[in-house]
Structure 1
């Protein structure tokens, strides 16, 4: 009887440790001109903040990213029921949507490194990198921020499922270097908190178009 009870407690402990993260992770973002041949540095840096704060809200198979750029809130909202990612500005009646089941590039090599040399916010991290046809993406993550990859199996855009299928963890650091996106995101605050489903409701828009990406 004691042995059975001990096994049950161990199983319960494993289950609790593998609960999906619910809450908010705040990142500091450093943004650079991804392609000065298309947009000159003088124009690019005159029209955008190169450093800003971005909050990522996670609950089950849904997420919402809110970036405060140029005194405006720019939002990216994933709706798993439609396999769509909505992008819009707060209080705006215009939005675009992206098909989350499509990749915009291909991974040609995966480099995975289990290490304790990377430490961020007091957490020892492992790292994984993707070499793409047109660039690179690097992630540093801690297993403490568990997120089951199967919740996002239809989210191929931005290689989100590819990343989660290797790590099952929300990244603490992301470095993106592609012809259309050059950013470094570093987590500065982690909040485990219950988030209302209302936070992930898609607003009504007067104009809604499909993104070209």
Structure 2
């Protein structure tokens, strides 16, 4: 009986581990400008110091307290990323099958950081645009096949290696360096309607 119980627990553990994370991750963001015309504080105001990231079933929505991009919405079945800018009523969208960058080298390092008490491995992407570092833990795991067509922003390059949502990101390019760290993880159901576009919204493809 003890052996049977042990096997059942192992099997259940595997099932739970394979489940896709759904819910909300809250990130705190800081920026370091690399151009004289743009201060760190201006980047804080434009891009936002707090990001609320909601995800379920391969969809995600990111809401920022910045003034430049108010929210981003990825609709999985369309493979499009919608962007609501603070200075326009139009919602602009990107075709996520177009990468817009190139990953030159990828590397994984074990036990690279501890975030919210969770030991995280690191994925380093050396890209044409700069260096991207992601830190992840299996507690927020996801099936990468959900995002197999999401090449935009090198997302599938990351998610295919980590198989989890990031708990910390360091994105560095010629203009600035951004550090984004999770401050809260909330595993919960998110209503399907949360990932709907607003009604009668004007749409236009990003150029």
Q: Normalised by the size of structure 2, how large is the TM-score?
A: 0.88
Alpha-carbon deviations, 1:12-59, whole Å to 9, x = none? 32111221111100000113435x27xx12698289357511000010
User: Structure 1 residue 103 and structure 2 residue 89: aligned?
Assistant: no
Partner SS, residue 15 of structure 1:
helix
Please state if 1:87 is matched with 2:75. no
Partner of 2:57: 60
Q: Work out which of the residue numbers 32, 42, 46 in structure 2 matches 1:45.
A: 42
1:142 corresponds in structure 2 to 137
User: How far off is 1:180 after superposition?
Assistant: 5.7
Match of 1:14? 14
What's the C-alpha RMSD, in Å, of the aligned pairs?
2.7
Unaligned runs of 5+ in 2: none
Alpha-carbon distance in 2 for matches of 1:103, 1:27: 24
Matched, 1:195 2:205: no
Whether the aligned pair in 2 keeps the contact of 1:20 and 1:147 (CA below 8 Å) is yes
Do residues 210 (structure 1) and 205 (structure 2) align? Answer: yes
Q: What is the match of residue 132 of structure 1?
A: 127
Change in Cα spacing, 1:204 to 1:33, as seen in structure 2 (3 Å) is: farther
Q: Which runs of 5+ in 1 are unaligned?
A: none
- Cα distance change on mapping 1:49 and 1:211 into 2, 3 Å: closer
From the superposition, tell whether residues 170 and 49 of structure 1 become closer, same or farther in structure 2 (CA, over 3 Å).
same
- What is the deviation of 1:67? 0.3
1:51–1:63: structure 2 CA closer, same or farther, 3 Å change rule? closer
Distance 1:17 1:44 in 2: 40
CA–CA distance in structure 2, aligned partners of residues 199 and 50 of structure 1: 22
- TM-score, scaled to structure 1: 0.86
1:156-194 deviation digits (Å, cap 9, x = unpaired):
111111111111011110011123663211001111111
